[in-house]
Structure 1
Amino acid sequence: MSQIPRPAASPPHLRVAGGRDLTPEAPVQRLDGQLTVIVPVESDDLDLALAHAAIREAVRPLAREIEYLYVLDGALEAARERLERLAAAGEPVAILQFPRAFGRAAALSVAFREAKGDVVLTLPPEGEVETEELPKLVAALARADLVVAARQLEDKPASGRIRKLEWLARLLLGNPFTDLRCRVRLMRRAVADELVLYGNQDRFLPLLAQSAGFRVVEVPVRGRLVHAPSRGADPGMLLDLLTVFFLFRFVQKPFRFFGGIGLGLVAAGGLGTAWLVLERLAFGTPLANRPALILATLTLVLGIQIVAVGLIGEIVAFAHARSLRRYRIERIVE
């Protein structure tokens, strides 16, 4: 993998995930290796000729060799025809197209696998950040594995649901990033190769990379709020958030999750049943026609079943322990 030169003067202000300031020591230089620009396309309504011209002018100073990879998420025939005309005109454009919409995570996974560059830039065609801000990402990559853009928006999103979901992400995942919804990210090839995305986990890519041990830096940039085509509502994002929370905390130790819930229910059901039996033996209170007995018994049985699920999960995790590697080795010194 080609090495990215360290900068030589002071570039823009940077912020490491978690809030710590980071200011590289040099001006932005071109990347030595090849840069792959991944552009996910989700709509036929985009003027891709104009978008490609803007993207090309924006990334041209970033590397000497650049590959443009457009991923069409669905049967977007008009978009494909526009891109084919660009390729016929000599533009270095590669096109990947799904027969139907599979989602952004699937599009990125395929693009990561097909990308040839040493460095990968994901760049939505709608233009979420000002193009002149992209060199800041290259400067930050000198000290990071993944650089995420944090848009400094003049008009903050007014949706209360978005604010609540961002607050919930900070609470559940310890999210140190201020703009998870921004899709502009620059990463080394190792990040693209090692991360596994599915469902709608693309929006949590910085958190997944940080969890895997990669160095993640957030760069404040001037941007704009773009209403890109959405494939899911906020309730869907809430479910994705809970899924990522479970994967972060319990994928290697499922019994801690199921066992805690199950043992709590077993204790509640057992105590309730014991109290009812004690009342029957000590005070002669009849057990017939008592809903409390049914409730206590069902709680006890449900708790035992949940504990059993946790034990089965532990067995599955143990059997697949080799493939559930949650760490990476940065270097070996001998």
Structure 2
Amino acid sequence: MDISVVVPLYNEDESLPELVAWVDKVMVENNFSYEIVLVDDGSTDKSWQVITQLKETYATIKAVKFRRNYGKSAALNVAFEVTQGDVVITMDADLQDSPDEIPELYRRIKEEGYDIISGWKKKRYDPITKTIPTKLFNAATRKMSGIELNDFNCGLKAYRGDVVKTIEVYGEMHRYIPVIAKWAGFSKIGEQVVEHRARKYGTTKFGMSRFINGFLDLLSIFFVGKFGKRPMHFFGSLGVLSFVLGIIMAIYIMVEKQILIYNNHSYRNATDQPLFYLALVAIIVGSQMFLAGFIAELVGRNAPERNQYLIEKEII
């Protein structure tokens, strides 16, 4: 099968018929063999009824319905498990992504050898309250990941089939799939300017809380990807640094006291100095972080996946 089109949706009963018809038209015109995987993320409208009706007309539809709303990441992860296409295209159900972009995305994956092609909505039809935070998060993600993309959160993306079979998407990690893929060894990531259409039906399903959660998820990806198999390198390094800093401050207090005594000067008790408490806190925190790293290492050594690595090719 050439293409799997993955569409996560939540309360999009009005747009689904038009979207599916548009995708089918593009596929037929380009002679693609394809499937459409629709994941109903606990919709409370008539989305599932619409999907079942569409299935009667379009045999290429596969569908999953959640009992409740789990979020876009969960919908994508479930859809990735059932896809069979050589190339997987993800897109939103609100018609703001154009299916006409699919042939070029497919071509770049197949002919240019990319692992991922991420859409870039260069001209957006979103309010400024959404575009400014998005720009800030894109800049932060570029800096932390080293991936030069302008729009990490664009729903329109193309993947080689083995990429989506390898990665795991959870929480609200969907906006950072290129970062997850890079940590998994899929480093050939490109970008393509795509059309961003004004919303035709309904309203956006995302609130301001997604930006806070998104930042926390970015930190989580960065930490797990870099230190997931060697937590002692992170906690141990910070712990030793804090402990040594505390010891240096404690030594400074003692040396200062001895100098004052030697020169017959009056001196304050060590406990009267703020530096004493800073030294004490630094030593305690350093010890705790070192122990946290040590415990994390013990847990990691007993984890069943401790020696699981992604192998691209093998000759035996």
Shorter-normalised TM-score: what interval?
0.7 to 0.9
Q: Give the alignment partner of residue 178 of structure 1, picking from 116, 131, 150.
A: 150
1:233 positional shift: 2.6
**2:226 aligned with 1:254:** no
Question: Separation in 1 of the partners of 2:294 and 2:4?
Answer: 44
Q: Give the alignment partner of residue 274 of structure 1, picking from 246, 251, 259.
A: 251
Do the aligned residues in 1 keep the contact of 2:88 with 2:159 (CA within 8 Å)? Answer: yes
Unmatched tracts of structure 2, length 5 or more:
262-266
Count of aligned positions = 301
Q: Equivalent residues in 2 for 1:92-171 (5 A)?
A: 92-142=60-110, 143-153=113-123, 158=128, 159-171=131-143
Match of 1:332 in 2: 314
Question: Separation in 2 of the partners of 1:62 and 1:121?
Answer: 15
**2:287 aligned with 1:304:** yes
Do the aligned residues in 2 keep the contact of 1:150 with 1:218 (CA within 8 Å)? Answer: no
Match of 1:26 in 2: none
User: Structure 1 residues 121, 61: closer, same or farther in 2, change over 3 A?
Assistant: farther
Deviating more after overlay: 71-80 vs 289-298: 289-298
Deviations 1:128-162 (A, max 9, x none): 44333221111111223333223342669744322
Do the aligned residues in 2 keep the contact of 1:148 with 1:216 (CA within 8 Å)? Answer: no
Question: Separation in 2 of the partners of 1:62 and 1:328?
Answer: 34
Q: TM-score, normalised by structure 1?
A: 0.80
Alignment-mate amino acid for residue 314 of structure 2? I
Match of 1:235 in 2: 212
Q: TM-score, normalised by structure 2?
A: 0.84
Do the aligned residues in 1 keep the contact of 2:73 with 2:170 (CA within 8 Å)? Answer: yes
Alignment-mate amino acid for residue 79 of structure 2? A
Match of 1:11 in 2: none
Question: Separation in 2 of the partners of 1:135 and 1:276?
Answer: 70
User: Structure 1 residues 191, 313: closer, same or farther in 2, change over 3 A?
Assistant: same
Misfit runs of 4+, over 6 Å:
154-157
Deviations 1:59-115 (A, max 9, x none): 334554322211011243411111112123454322211111111111111111122
**2:57 aligned with 1:82:** no
Alignment-mate amino acid for residue 148 of structure 1? S
SS of equivalent to 2:33: strand
Do the aligned residues in 1 keep the contact of 2:114 with 2:188 (CA within 8 Å)? Answer: yes
Question: Separation in 1 of the partners of 2:179 and 2:12?
Answer: 31
Deviating more after overlay: 188-197 vs 285-294: 285-294
Unmatched tracts of structure 1, length 5 or more:
1-32
More strand by share: 1
Question: Separation in 1 of the partners of 2:158 and 2:184?
Answer: 17
Deviating more after overlay: 163-172 vs 59-68: 59-68
Match of 1:17 in 2: none
Alignment-mate amino acid for residue 115 of structure 2? D
- The percentage of counterpart residues that share the same residue type is 23
1:39 positional shift: 0.9
